[in-house]
Amino acid sequence: MRGAWSGDRPFIAVVTGAASGIGRALAEQLHGRGAELVLADLDPAVEGVAARLGGTAVSADVSDPEAMEQLAERSPRARFVCLNAGIVGPSVGAPWEVPAAEWDRVFAVNVAGVANGLRAFVPRLLAAGEPAHVLVTASLAGMAVFPGGGAYGPSKHAVTALVTHAAMALEGTPARIGMICPALVATGMSPLGADPADVAREALRAVDDGVFAVVPPEWRAAVVDQVAGVARGAPPAPPAPAG
Ligand SMILES: NC(=O)c1ccc[n+]([C@@H]2O[C@H](COP(=O)([O-])OP(=O)(O)OC[C@H]3O[C@@H](n4cnc5c(N)ncnc54)[C@H](O)[C@@H]3O)[C@@H](O)[C@H]2O)c1
């Protein structure tokens, strides 16, 4: 990937969910690295972000395959694609407390949103035959299972599986895919957590370094322990950070 954005030539980057939080921070970091930006969101606030960063704003719902196809059509020279848009439903309790329509919407945005992005962009990236990268915003909730959280955690587990599958399928091509799996980040989604600018900076550094998945170091053992316990047949326990 490094060649596509290391400053030896300009590159075009697309970011979904760019009106706020991690997406906006990714757009800012990519702008700082000289990218020409195409910023997509449902929220009209994306227009202000695009204007500030000299990019193009696109109103698009990632859960709509046609909208993602149109987004890819209007950015044919994009070589860096951040599939970042995501939502938490209003119900954050046990699975049976989440209404059916809410399961559908959370999965439509978080999972189908990523699949729609891959379907729209990956064939074009492969046809271009140049170094390219897809960066997906998954979540720590897609690596470990936390009590509660409604449909969000299951949707993010689907996202991490999707990205892992896509990475295997892209092996041997000039296109790469990776994901970030942050714990809490202070955005429109959470009042608490890491600074989205730090998350975005670390995400791009990981792309530079060829790191497939960015998982906060203090959570890595908990992720492994939970899977190891379940693989042994032990009842699941909530994960906890080290230290
Ligand atoms: N904030 C956290 O603690 C945290 C932790 C781990 C992962 N994440 C993930 O980070 C990503 C970004 O979320 P954030 O924390 O920056 O929240 P945010 O609410 O600040 O930003 C999300 C953006 O996505 C947009 N969006 C929502 N649905 C959309 C749709 N259907 N089509 C297009 N755009 C849509 C929103 O309008 C918003 O601008 C999400 O995938 C989220 O699951 C967040």
Q: Which residues make Cβ contacts (< 8 Å) with residue 177, sequence separation at least 6?
A: 133, 134, 135, 136, 163, 166, 167, 170
- Say which of 152, 153, 162, 204 is annotated catalytic: 152
Give the CATH number for residue 129: 3.40.50.720
Is 241 part of a structural domain of the chain? Answer: no
The pTM for the full model equals 0.97
Is 26 part of a structural domain of the chain? Answer: yes
Is 240 part of a structural domain of the chain? Answer: no
By alpha-carbon position, which residue is closest to atom 8 of ligand 1? 139
The tokens describing 12, both together, are 């075009």
Is 237 part of a structural domain of the chain? Answer: no
pLDDT digits over 202-215, tens only?
999 999 999 999 99
User: Which atom of ligand 1 sits closest to the CA of residue 196?
Assistant: 16
Is 155 part of a structural domain of the chain? Answer: yes
The pair phi, psi for residue 14, each rounded to 5°, is -110, 135
Is 178 part of a structural domain of the chain? Answer: yes
Separation of CA 109 and ligand 1 centre (Å): 10
Separation of CA 234 and ligand 1 centre (Å): 33
The pair phi, psi for residue 210, each rounded to 5°, is 70, 25
User: Known catalytic residue: 152?
Assistant: yes
pLDDT digits over 9-23, tens only?
679 999 999 999 999
Q: What is the three-class DSSP state of 240?
A: coil
Q: Which residues make Cβ contacts (< 8 Å) with residue 178, sequence separation at least 6?
A: 133, 134, 135, 136, 163, 167, 206, 207, 211, 212, 213, 214
pLDDT digits over 137-184, tens only?
999 999 999 999 999 999 999 999 999 999 999 999 999 999 999 999
Assess whether pLDDT exceeds 90 at residue 122: yes
Domain residues for the domain of 141 are: 2-232
Among residues 107, 143, 127, 160, the alpha carbon closest in space to that of 215 is found at 143
Assess whether pLDDT exceeds 60 at residue 7: no
By alpha-carbon position, which residue is closest to atom 32 of ligand 1? 61
Q: How many domains does the chain have?
A: 1
Is 124 part of a structural domain of the chain? Answer: yes
Buried b (16+ CB within 10 A) or exposed e, 144-163: bbeeebbbbbbbbbbbbebb
| Residue 108 Cβ contacting ligand 1 at under 6 Å | no
Confidence at residue 9, expressed as pLDDT on a 0 to 100 scale: 66
